[in-house]
Amino acid sequence: MDISQEGLRTLAAVLREGTFDAAAAALHITPSAVSQRIKALESAAGRVLLRRTKPATATPDGEVLVRLAKQWELLLAETRAEFVGAPDDDDLPLVERPRIHLPIATNADSLATWLLPVLAHFHREHAVAVEVFRDDETRSSALLRTGDVLAAVTSEPLAIRGCALQSLGTMRYLPVATPDFIETWLPDGPDADALARAPMVQFDRNDHIQRNISAALAGRPVDPPAVYIPASTEYHRAVTLGIGWGAVPVVQIADALDTGRVRLIADHHIDVPLYWQYWKLSSPLLQALTTSVVDGAARVL
């Protein structure tokens, strides 16, 4: 199989831009040249790599080559950096080192609690520019499959093909509400009838933690009115302001529990295991990021 770097770059551009015309503009070539490169790449691979839709999407075989294209870009950037000054060369001031783009994915709660300090320290130590894609921990691994990110915080315990997997620990969620909310909505405890009436705060429509907790407490599925707050810090504030009850990570809610601003609505919790999945690459920066993430998670989770 003769896979050209030119073909990989063109495939990645079509998927990033959405159409052949937009990819041609980004690459400063003609749409005809884009089409010819994609046809040549598909002939070399012996597979259909693109669905000619608007926007264009990758077939499963195309996703494999998109990941290869992104991996090649990272390795090429690190190699280029070594020629003009290695990104981790201590003899060269950090402000003069070339920055290398590192896209990763994570869930909002990890970003708001333990991951952001890790990334801040990593930026102080390395010449990088990390791009964070935020998605639910059950969905972030999809960005690895499509090649959009190099690594991801995920709840999936099985490694994606071409990726390595490391356990980060467990994030524990507690169902809490303000004392006034509990007195108003759950005066006799979280039984099925009360939980069906009491407003519940959810992150978004992909967030199932609250519904899993309410079903466990009620002994059956219930359908309470839901308030959607799609940001981790604001979600925490919404619960402490009494908008509804919600499941909040222990690391976020500990102070409010200690001061009595919120109370447990029941002696119950949900543990969400987290993993770090990353491409198997001989990349010093990716390995350094992995070490930082694993160490940072171990201090909190």
Q: Residue 65 — φ and ψ, nearest 5°? A: -75, -30
Nearest to 153 by CA among 175, 172, 129, 134: 134
CB 54 within 8 A of CB 18: yes
CA atoms within 13 A on the CB side of 204: 12
Rounded distance, CA 146 to CA 72, Å? 15
Please report the pLDDT score of residue 75 as a whole number: 74
Q: Percent of the chain at pLDDT above 90?
A: 57
Q: Identify the helix (H) or strand (E) that includes residue 100.
A: strand 100-106
Q: Percent of the chain at pLDDT above 70?
A: 92
Rounded distance, CA 176 to CA 240, Å? 9
Spatial neighbors of 258 by CB under 8 A, at least 6 apart, are: none
Average pLDDT over residues 166-192: 96
Q: What are residue 224's DSSP bridge partners?
A: none
Q: What are residue 172's DSSP bridge partners?
A: 271
CB 126 within 8 A of CB 116: no
Range scoring the smallest mean pLDDT among 59-63, 208-212, 237-241, 286-290: 59-63
CATH code assigned to 171-273: 3.40.190.10
End-to-end CA distance of the chain: 45
Average pLDDT over the chain, rounded to an integer:
88
Write the pLDDT tens digit of every residue in 26-44: 999 999 999 999 999 888 8
The strand pair at 151-154 and 270-279 is best described as: antiparallel
Q: Identify the helix (H) or strand (E) that includes residue 214.
A: helix 209-218
CB 273 within 8 A of CB 210: no
| Cα of 93 vs its chain's centroid, Å | 31
CB 67 within 8 A of CB 74: no
CA distances from 15 to 124, 170, 278, 285 (A): 32, 35, 21, 25
Nearest to 285 by CA among 146, 166, 123: 123
DSSP state letters, 123-180: HHHSSEEEEEEE--TTTTHHHHHTTS-SEEEES--SPPTTEEEEEEEEEEEEEEE-HH
Rounded distance, CA 7 to CA 23, Å? 12
Q: Identify the helix (H) or strand (E) that includes residue 270.
A: strand 270-279
Average pLDDT over residues 132-141: 80
Please report the pLDDT score of residue 1 as a whole number: 63
Model confidence, pTM: 0.75
Please report the pLDDT score of residue 84 as a whole number: 47
Write the pLDDT tens digit of every residue in 48-107: 888 988 888 888 888 888 877 777 777 777 666 655 445 455 566 666 667 888 899 999
